[in-house]
Amino acid sequence: MKLQRNSRLVVLTGAGVSAESGFSTFRDSGGLWEQYDVNEVASHEGWLRNPSLVLDFYNSRRAQLKDARPNAAHLAIAALEKQCRVDVITQNVDNLHERAGSTHVVHLHGELTKVRPESGLYERSGSEQEVIDVGYESVSLGDKAPNGRQLRPHIVFFGEAVPKIEEAINLVEKADVLLIVGTSLQVYPAAGLYRYAPMDTPIYVIDPKPVPLIDPRVVFIQDKASTGMEQFISQI
Protein backbone atom coordinates (compact mmCIF):
# COMPACT_ATOMS: atom_id res chain seq x y z
CA MET A 1 0.00 0.00 0.00
CA LYS A 2 1.46 3.37 -1.02
CA LEU A 3 0.07 6.58 0.43
CA GLN A 4 -1.39 8.89 -2.20
CA ARG A 5 -2.63 12.46 -2.02
CA ASN A 6 -6.22 11.30 -1.47
CA SER A 7 -5.29 8.53 1.00
CA ARG A 8 -6.41 8.76 4.60
CA LEU A 9 -3.84 7.84 7.22
CA VAL A 10 -5.14 7.50 10.77
CA VAL A 11 -2.54 7.42 13.54
CA LEU A 12 -3.46 6.14 17.01
CA THR A 13 -0.85 7.11 19.57
CA GLY A 14 -0.15 6.37 23.22
CA ALA A 15 2.39 7.28 25.84
CA GLY A 16 5.23 5.61 23.91
CA VAL A 17 5.20 8.30 21.21
CA SER A 18 6.12 10.90 23.84
CA ALA A 19 8.69 8.71 25.66
CA GLU A 20 11.59 10.18 23.67
CA SER A 21 10.41 13.65 24.75
CA GLY A 22 11.14 12.62 28.34
CA PHE A 23 7.67 11.51 29.45
CA SER A 24 7.32 8.29 31.40
CA THR A 25 4.86 5.81 29.99
CA PHE A 26 2.24 4.34 32.34
CA ARG A 27 2.74 0.59 32.41
CA ASP A 28 6.42 0.06 31.56
CA SER A 29 8.78 -0.79 34.40
CA GLY A 30 9.35 2.49 36.28
CA GLY A 31 6.25 3.93 34.59
CA LEU A 32 3.81 6.43 36.13
CA TRP A 33 1.44 3.81 37.53
CA GLU A 34 4.32 2.36 39.57
CA GLN A 35 4.99 5.81 41.07
CA TYR A 36 1.37 6.85 41.62
CA ASP A 37 -1.82 5.02 42.51
CA VAL A 38 -4.02 5.35 39.45
CA ASN A 39 -7.12 5.07 41.65
CA GLU A 40 -6.01 8.08 43.67
CA VAL A 41 -4.86 10.46 40.93
CA ALA A 42 -6.71 9.48 37.77
CA SER A 43 -10.12 8.13 38.70
CA HIS A 44 -13.50 9.73 39.20
CA GLU A 45 -13.62 8.42 42.79
CA GLY A 46 -10.08 9.71 43.44
CA TRP A 47 -11.19 13.19 42.39
CA LEU A 48 -14.20 13.06 44.73
CA ARG A 49 -12.02 11.80 47.62
CA ASN A 50 -9.05 14.13 47.31
CA PRO A 51 -9.24 16.78 44.58
CA SER A 52 -6.06 18.54 45.82
CA LEU A 53 -3.99 15.43 45.21
CA VAL A 54 -5.43 15.09 41.70
CA LEU A 55 -4.84 18.77 40.91
CA ASP A 56 -1.23 18.49 42.12
CA PHE A 57 -0.61 15.42 39.95
CA TYR A 58 -1.80 17.22 36.83
CA ASN A 59 -0.08 20.50 37.85
CA SER A 60 3.26 18.72 37.89
CA ARG A 61 2.62 17.04 34.55
CA ARG A 62 1.58 20.41 33.05
CA ALA A 63 4.80 21.99 34.33
CA GLN A 64 6.81 19.17 32.78
CA LEU A 65 5.03 19.68 29.45
CA LYS A 66 6.06 23.32 29.33
CA ASP A 67 9.71 22.34 29.02
CA ALA A 68 9.22 19.29 26.80
CA ARG A 69 9.72 19.28 23.04
CA PRO A 70 8.12 17.19 20.29
CA ASN A 71 10.47 14.40 19.21
CA ALA A 72 11.32 12.97 15.80
CA ALA A 73 8.25 10.71 15.84
CA HIS A 74 5.80 13.59 16.44
CA LEU A 75 7.58 15.57 13.71
CA ALA A 76 7.50 12.65 11.24
CA ILE A 77 3.75 12.14 11.82
CA ALA A 78 3.12 15.86 11.24
CA ALA A 79 5.28 15.90 8.09
CA LEU A 80 3.14 13.13 6.55
CA GLU A 81 0.43 15.81 6.08
CA LYS A 82 2.47 16.88 3.02
CA GLN A 83 1.65 13.48 1.52
CA CYS A 84 -1.97 12.80 2.44
CA ARG A 85 -4.77 13.48 4.92
CA VAL A 86 -3.53 12.54 8.39
CA ASP A 87 -5.80 12.26 11.43
CA VAL A 88 -4.15 11.68 14.78
CA ILE A 89 -6.17 10.04 17.53
CA THR A 90 -4.14 10.26 20.69
CA GLN A 91 -4.62 8.85 24.17
CA ASN A 92 -2.02 11.35 25.32
CA VAL A 93 -2.98 14.49 27.18
CA ASP A 94 0.16 16.39 26.12
CA ASN A 95 0.12 18.81 23.18
CA LEU A 96 3.25 17.52 21.44
CA HIS A 97 1.45 16.43 18.25
CA GLU A 98 0.06 19.95 17.81
CA ARG A 99 3.42 21.54 18.63
CA ALA A 100 5.03 19.29 16.00
CA GLY A 101 2.56 20.65 13.42
CA SER A 102 -0.22 18.06 13.24
CA THR A 103 -3.45 19.88 12.39
CA HIS A 104 -6.09 17.18 12.94
CA VAL A 105 -5.71 15.79 16.46
CA VAL A 106 -8.44 14.09 18.51
CA HIS A 107 -7.59 13.84 22.21
CA LEU A 108 -9.46 10.79 23.48
CA HIS A 109 -8.42 11.23 27.12
CA GLY A 110 -8.51 15.03 27.35
CA GLU A 111 -5.86 17.73 27.38
CA LEU A 112 -3.42 18.81 30.10
CA THR A 113 -3.51 22.50 29.18
CA LYS A 114 -7.27 22.71 29.69
CA VAL A 115 -9.61 22.68 32.68
CA ARG A 116 -13.36 22.91 33.14
CA PRO A 117 -15.83 23.34 36.01
CA GLU A 118 -16.62 20.17 37.88
CA SER A 119 -20.24 19.15 37.69
CA GLY A 120 -20.57 17.15 40.87
CA LEU A 121 -21.04 13.55 41.83
CA TYR A 122 -22.42 12.47 38.47
CA GLU A 123 -19.69 14.10 36.46
CA ARG A 124 -20.62 14.89 32.85
CA SER A 125 -17.98 15.36 30.20
CA GLY A 126 -18.67 19.12 30.10
CA SER A 127 -19.55 21.16 27.06
CA GLU A 128 -16.75 22.50 24.86
CA GLN A 129 -17.86 26.06 25.75
CA GLU A 130 -17.02 25.46 29.43
CA VAL A 131 -13.45 24.40 28.71
CA ILE A 132 -10.81 26.93 29.74
CA ASP A 133 -7.26 27.01 28.38
CA VAL A 134 -4.85 27.46 31.30
CA GLY A 135 -1.71 26.77 29.33
CA TYR A 136 0.97 25.58 31.75
CA GLU A 137 -0.42 27.30 34.88
CA SER A 138 -1.16 25.45 38.11
CA VAL A 139 -4.74 25.09 39.32
CA SER A 140 -5.56 24.91 43.04
CA LEU A 141 -8.48 24.01 45.22
CA GLY A 142 -10.58 27.20 45.39
CA ASP A 143 -9.89 28.20 41.76
CA LYS A 144 -13.36 28.60 40.30
CA ALA A 145 -14.88 28.74 36.83
CA PRO A 146 -17.13 31.71 35.88
CA ASN A 147 -20.13 29.60 36.98
CA GLY A 148 -18.68 29.39 40.52
CA ARG A 149 -17.71 25.73 40.40
CA GLN A 150 -14.30 24.30 41.24
CA LEU A 151 -12.02 23.87 38.22
CA ARG A 152 -10.96 20.31 37.44
CA PRO A 153 -8.54 18.90 34.86
CA HIS A 154 -10.06 18.45 31.39
CA ILE A 155 -9.00 14.81 31.57
CA VAL A 156 -11.04 11.65 31.16
CA PHE A 157 -10.67 9.96 34.54
CA PHE A 158 -11.07 6.21 34.89
CA GLY A 159 -14.77 5.60 35.48
CA GLU A 160 -15.84 8.41 33.15
CA ALA A 161 -17.19 8.28 29.61
CA VAL A 162 -14.93 8.92 26.60
CA PRO A 163 -16.90 11.59 24.71
CA LYS A 164 -14.67 11.58 21.61
CA ILE A 165 -14.86 7.84 20.95
CA GLU A 166 -17.55 8.15 18.23
CA GLU A 167 -15.48 10.75 16.39
CA ALA A 168 -12.47 8.40 16.60
CA ILE A 169 -14.48 5.40 15.34
CA ASN A 170 -15.71 7.44 12.36
CA LEU A 171 -12.11 8.26 11.44
CA VAL A 172 -10.84 4.68 11.79
CA GLU A 173 -13.70 3.43 9.63
CA LYS A 174 -12.41 5.60 6.77
CA ALA A 175 -8.70 4.78 7.19
CA ASP A 176 -6.74 3.55 4.16
CA VAL A 177 -3.81 2.92 6.48
CA LEU A 178 -3.92 2.70 10.28
CA LEU A 179 -0.72 3.34 12.21
CA ILE A 180 -0.54 2.58 15.94
CA VAL A 181 2.43 4.02 17.86
CA GLY A 182 3.48 3.47 21.46
CA THR A 183 0.42 2.10 23.19
CA SER A 184 0.07 -1.12 25.16
CA LEU A 185 -3.60 -1.31 24.07
CA GLN A 186 -4.69 -2.10 27.62
CA VAL A 187 -7.25 0.66 28.06
CA TYR A 188 -10.67 0.47 26.42
CA PRO A 189 -12.38 1.81 24.43
CA ALA A 190 -9.21 3.10 22.70
CA ALA A 191 -7.73 -0.41 22.61
CA GLY A 192 -10.61 -1.69 20.47
CA LEU A 193 -10.52 1.10 17.88
CA TYR A 194 -8.42 -0.85 15.35
CA ARG A 195 -11.30 -3.29 14.89
CA TYR A 196 -13.24 -0.58 13.05
CA ALA A 197 -10.64 -0.34 10.28
CA PRO A 198 -11.84 -1.64 6.89
CA MET A 199 -10.86 -5.26 6.20
CA ASP A 200 -8.32 -4.27 3.50
CA THR A 201 -6.65 -1.58 5.62
CA PRO A 202 -3.12 -2.44 6.72
CA ILE A 203 -2.45 -1.81 10.41
CA TYR A 204 1.15 -0.86 11.20
CA VAL A 205 2.16 -1.12 14.86
CA ILE A 206 5.32 0.57 16.15
CA ASP A 207 6.43 -0.46 19.64
CA PRO A 208 9.72 -1.72 21.11
CA LYS A 209 7.78 -4.48 22.89
CA PRO A 210 5.49 -7.02 21.23
CA VAL A 211 1.88 -5.78 21.38
CA PRO A 212 -0.64 -8.60 21.75
CA LEU A 213 -2.72 -7.82 18.67
CA ILE A 214 -4.11 -10.85 16.91
CA ASP A 215 -5.15 -9.56 13.53
CA PRO A 216 -3.98 -10.64 10.07
CA ARG A 217 -3.84 -6.98 8.96
CA VAL A 218 -1.03 -6.15 11.40
CA VAL A 219 2.48 -5.30 10.21
CA PHE A 220 4.64 -5.06 13.34
CA ILE A 221 7.63 -2.71 13.48
CA GLN A 222 9.44 -3.57 16.70
CA ASP A 223 11.27 -0.34 17.40
CA LYS A 224 11.02 2.89 19.36
CA ALA A 225 8.82 5.62 17.90
CA SER A 226 11.48 7.79 16.21
CA THR A 227 13.29 5.07 14.27
CA GLY A 228 10.09 3.06 13.89
CA MET A 229 8.60 6.02 12.01
CA GLU A 230 11.58 5.98 9.64
CA GLN A 231 10.89 2.31 8.91
CA PHE A 232 7.17 2.99 8.43
CA ILE A 233 7.86 5.81 5.97
CA SER A 234 10.26 3.61 3.97
CA GLN A 235 7.54 0.94 3.69
CA ILE A 236 4.62 3.15 2.77
Q: Are 161 and 139 in contact (CB under 8 A)?
A: no
Burial grade of 102 (CB within 10 A; 0-12, 13-18, 19 or more): buried
Query: 109 catalytic, yes or no?
Result: yes
Is residue 156 close enough to count as binding ligand OAD by CB under 6 A?
A: yes
Decide: helix, strand or coil at residue 84. Answer: coil
Nearer to ligand OAD (CB atom), residue 108 or residue 171: 108
**Smallest gap, in angstroms, from Cβ of residue 106 to ligand OAD?**
13
Phi, psi of 166 (to 5 degrees): -65, -45
Binding test (CB under 6 A) with ligand OAD, winner from 55, 225, 229, 236: 225
Nearer to ligand OAD (CB atom), residue 14 or residue 126: 14
Is residue 14 close enough to count as binding ligand OAD by CB under 6 A?
A: yes
Q: Indicate the Cα dihedral angle 92, 96, 100, 105, nearest 10°.
A: 40
Residues 106-135 that bind ligand OAD (CB under 6 A): 109
Residues 38-97 that bind ligand OAD (CB under 6 A): 42, 91
Nearer to ligand OAD (CB atom), residue 167 or residue 198: 167
CA distances for 145 relative to 58, 109, 116, 117, 161, angstroms:
17, 21, 7, 6, 22
CA distances for 209 relative to 146, 212, 226, angstroms:
46, 9, 14
Q: Are 92 and 13 in contact (CB under 8 A)?
A: yes
Q: How far apart are CA 54 and CA 68, in angstroms?
A: 21
Binding test (CB under 6 A) with ligand OAD, winner from 3, 7, 8, 31: 31
**Smallest gap, in angstroms, from Cβ of residue 48 to ligand OAD?**
16
Is residue 26 close enough to count as binding ligand OAD by CB under 6 A?
A: yes
Q: How far apart are CA 100 and CA 119, in angstroms?
A: 33
Other CB atoms within 10 A of residue 232 CB: 25
Is residue 21 close enough to count as binding ligand OAD by CB under 6 A?
A: no
Q: Which of 97, 107, 109, 154 is catalytic?
A: 109
**Smallest gap, in angstroms, from Cβ of residue 103 to ligand OAD?**
22
Nearer to ligand OAD (CB atom), residue 143 or residue 160: 160
Q: Which residue is nearest to ligand OAD (CB)?
A: 16
Among all residues, which ones are annotated catalytic?
A: 109
Residues near ligand OAD (CB under 6 A) are: 14-16, 19-20, 25-28, 31, 42, 91, 109, 156, 182-184, 186-187, 207-209, 211, 224-225
